[in-house]
């Protein structure tokens, strides 16, 4: 989930700044009670921070979930262009808290006029792993959700296609395969890679050409753009694609990101074996990881 730290949109950068600032300061300066109170208080800045804080420190107390769900309908905090900063942070936090109760409200948030709220909602629905959101996600991918077009804060795209596609891949939405396939040729590379990642997750191993989707991601690691390489490292870690191991170790990016990506490969290697057995693949991945420490 480091992906949001690495991309160029202003709103994500801002979130990273908040995250850095909070790491430098005392992490415990807020209490749970105080954060919950702040979220309902008058100060809009404190509300936005409290929503982020509850997610960052995984505060899954029922009252915290309640106030965050309420915050998904906030009308007080608006940007000049009509965006909803508090809703964005609330949607992100709810994904981290693992509470299924948030699913219906997050599905509702997919209808929000703010692009970034829809993006956060799709990412959080992916994290919560609840497949009831699949039909709505497919409609959003098809631009069929009223009120989402035109976005008042348009980035370059109509929809957060990459977040939607990644969610559909993780949620196992095989009905979406024909639509996702079209995004393999999308002009934005990041969206192509999201589609390749989802296609890998959704097609069965017996399908001819199954590995082409993973291999596409390996080729993408040779891209000149560092942000893209980082995104692809995240994708390869998410699907645990073993043939990518060396390419991950060799690509020009921070070792931290390579290690997280390789961890995804290693975990996939450990799943089917008994704990006392290490597969040759697992050993190879660990040797590559050792060299990156």
Partner 1 sequence: MPDSLNTLIRAVEDANSSILLQEAVKNLAAARLEGAIPTLIAALSYNNPGAAVAAVDGLIQIGEPAVPSLLELLDMHNYTARSWAIRTLAGIGDPRGLVTLLGAATADFALSVRRAAAKGLGMMKWHWFPEELLEIAQAEAMEALLFVAQEDEEWVVRYSAIVGLQFLANAIAVSHPDWRSQILSNFEQIAAKEESWPVRARVLMAQQELQKTATIPTQDTDNRPSPLSSMDWQKIMEELYGRKGQERLVFAEGDPRRYEQLAVAIAQHSDE
Residues in touch with partner 1 (CB under 8 A): 224, 226, 252-256, 259-260, 263, 266-267, 270, 275-276, 278, 282-283, 286, 289-290, 293
Match 């202003």 to its residue by tokens: 10
The distance of closest approach from Cβ of residue 269 to partner 1 in the complex, given in angstroms and rounded to an integer, is 8
The distance of closest approach from Cβ of residue 210 to partner 1 in the complex, given in angstroms and rounded to an integer, is 25
How many CB atoms neighbour CB 150 within 10 A?
7
Looking at beta carbons only, is 44 or 242 nearer to partner 1?
242
- Half-sphere exposure for 251 (CA within 13 Å, toward CB): 32
The distance of closest approach from Cβ of residue 234 to partner 1 in the complex, given in angstroms and rounded to an integer, is 16
Six-digit token pair at 8? 């160029």
- Half-sphere exposure for 100 (CA within 13 Å, toward CB): 5
Looking at beta carbons only, is 134 or 233 nearer to partner 1?
233
The distance of closest approach from Cβ of residue 238 to partner 1 in the complex, given in angstroms and rounded to an integer, is 15
Cα 58 to its chain centre, rounded Å, is: 16
Looking at beta carbons only, is 47 or 258 nearer to partner 1?
258
Looking at beta carbons only, is 87 or 230 nearer to partner 1?
230
Looking at beta carbons only, is 50 or 282 nearer to partner 1?
282
Report d(CA 159, CA 168) in Å as an integer.
14
**Which residue, among 4, 31, 1, has the nearest Cα to 17 in the 3D structure?**
4
The distance of closest approach from Cβ of residue 187 to partner 1 in the complex, given in angstroms and rounded to an integer, is 22
Does residue 12 sit in helix, strand or coil? helix
Report d(CA 26, CA 18) in Å as an integer.
13
**Which residue, among 78, 68, 66, has the nearest Cα to 113 in the 3D structure?**
78
Looking at beta carbons only, is 191 or 257 nearer to partner 1?
257
Check if the beta carbon of residue 168 is closer than 8 Å to that of residue 141. yes
Report d(CA 28, CA 35) in Å as an integer.
11
The distance of closest approach from Cβ of residue 275 to partner 1 in the complex, given in angstroms and rounded to an integer, is 7
Sign of CA dihedral 154, 138, 182, 245: positive
Looking at beta carbons only, is 80 or 271 nearer to partner 1?
271
The distance of closest approach from Cβ of residue 276 to partner 1 in the complex, given in angstroms and rounded to an integer, is 7
């Amino acid at each position: 989930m480091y992906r949001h730290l690495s991309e160029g949109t202003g709103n994500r950068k801002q979130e990273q700044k908040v995250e850095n600032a909070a790491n430098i300061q005392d992490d415990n300066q807020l209490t749970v009670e105080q954060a919950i109170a702040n979220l309902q208080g008058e100060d809009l800045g404190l509300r936005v921070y409290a929503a982020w804080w509850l997610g960052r420190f995984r505060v899954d107390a029922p009252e915290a979930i309640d106030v965050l769900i309420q915050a998904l309908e906030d009308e007080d905090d608006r940007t000049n262009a009509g965006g909803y900063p508090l809703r964005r942070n609330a949607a992100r936090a709810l994904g981290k808290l693992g509470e299924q109760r948030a699913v219906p409200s997050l599905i509702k948030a997919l209808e929000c006029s703010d692009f970034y709220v829809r993006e956060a909602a799709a990412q959080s629905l992916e994290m919560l792993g609840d497949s009831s959101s699949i039909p709505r996600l497919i409609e959003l991918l098809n631009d069929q959700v009223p009120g989402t077009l035109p976005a008042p804060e348009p980035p370059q795209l109509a929809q957060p296609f990459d977040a939607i596609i990644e969610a559909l891949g993780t949620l196992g939405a095989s009905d979406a395969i024909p639509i996702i396939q079209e995004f393999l040729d999308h002009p934005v590379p990041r969206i192509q890679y999201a589609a390749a990642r989802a296609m890998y997750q959704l097609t069965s191993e017996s399908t001819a050409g199954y590995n082409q989707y993973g291999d596409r991601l390996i080729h993408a690691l040779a891209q000149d753009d560092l942000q893209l390489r980082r995104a692809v490292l995240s994708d390869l870690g998410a699907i645990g694609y073993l043939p990518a191991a060396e390419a991950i170790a060799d690509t020009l990016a921070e070792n931290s990101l390579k290690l997280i990506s390789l961890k995804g490969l290693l975990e996939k290697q450990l799943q089917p074996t008994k704990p006392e057995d290490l597969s040759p693949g697992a050993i190879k991945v660990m040797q590559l990881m050792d060299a990156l420490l």
